[in-house]
Amino acid sequence: MELEVAPKRHRVCLGCRTLLADGETCGAKRGHEAVALDRPEQRARLDDEVWGPDSRARKLRRAAKAGAGGGALGSILEGCSGCDAAQGLEGCGELAGAGEGLAAVLVAIVAAIVFAIVTVIVVWLVLGLVKLIREKLDRPKPHGALRKPPKARGRSNGAGTATATATATATATATAAALPLPWKAGGALAYAFELHTKTAFGGDALLRDAMTAGFDVTLDDGRKVRVPPGRITIVGKLDEAEVDRARVDAFLDEVDPKKEERTSLFPYDHARALAIEPGDRVEVLGELETSADATQGHGYRASAGLLVPVGVPVLRVRRRADDDAHYRVGVGGGGEAAAEEEVEVEEEDRARRA
* pLDDT > 70 fraction of the chain, expressed in percent and rounded: 65
**Contact (Cβ atoms closer than 8 angstroms) between residue 208 and residue 238:** no
Give Cβ neighbours of residue 143 (< 8 Å, ≥ 6 apart): 49, 50, 51, 52, 200, 201, 202, 203
Report whether pLDDT(303) > 70: no
Short-list 263, 241, 242, CA closest to 252: 263
* pLDDT over 50 at 86, yes or no: no
Q: Minimal CA–CA distance to 157: which of 226, 236, 230? A: 226
Residue with the larger pLDDT of the pair 88 and 226:
226
Average pLDDT score, the chain: 75
DSSP state of 148: P
Contacting residues for 144 by C-beta, under 8 A, at least 6 apart: 17, 196, 197, 200, 201, 202, 203, 204, 205, 206
Mean predicted confidence (pLDDT) in 76-92:
47
Q: Which residue has the higher pLDDT, 94 or 352?
A: 94
What's the pLDDT band for 173 if we cut at 50, 70, 90? Answer: very low
Q: What is the SS3 assignment for 23?
A: coil
Of 229, 211, 237, 225, which Cα lies nearest the Cα of 163? 225
Residue 329 has pLDDT above 60, yes or no: no
pTM: 0.66
Question: What is the distance between the alpha carbons of residues 37 and 265, in angstroms, rounded to a whole number?
Answer: 10
The amino acid at residue 282 is V
Percent of the chain with pLDDT over 90: 36
What pLDDT sits at residue 185?
A: 92
For residue 279, pLDDT beyond 90: yes
CA dihedral 20, 25, 30, 36 (to 10 degrees): 50
5-33 pLDDT, tens digit each: 456 789 999 999 999 998 888 988 787 89
Per-residue pLDDT of 98-128, as tens digits, reads: 556 788 888 888 889 999 999 999 999 998 8
Return the pLDDT at 80.
47
Res. 323: pLDDT tops 70:
no
Mean pLDDT of 198-223: 88
pLDDT of residue 312: 92
Dist CA 14 CA 50 (whole Å): 9
User: What are the pLDDT digits (tens) for 49-78?
Assistant: 888 765 444 454 456 555 555 554 455 445
Q: Is residue 79 within 8 Å of residue 159, measured between CB atoms?
A: no
Average pLDDT over every residue of 221-237: 92
Instruction: Report which of 296, 168, 283 is spatially closest to residue 227, judged by C-alpha positions.
Output: 283
Cβ atoms of 209 and 195 closer than 8 Å: no
Residue 171: predicted pLDDT: 40
Give yes or no for residue 168 having a pLDDT over 70.
no
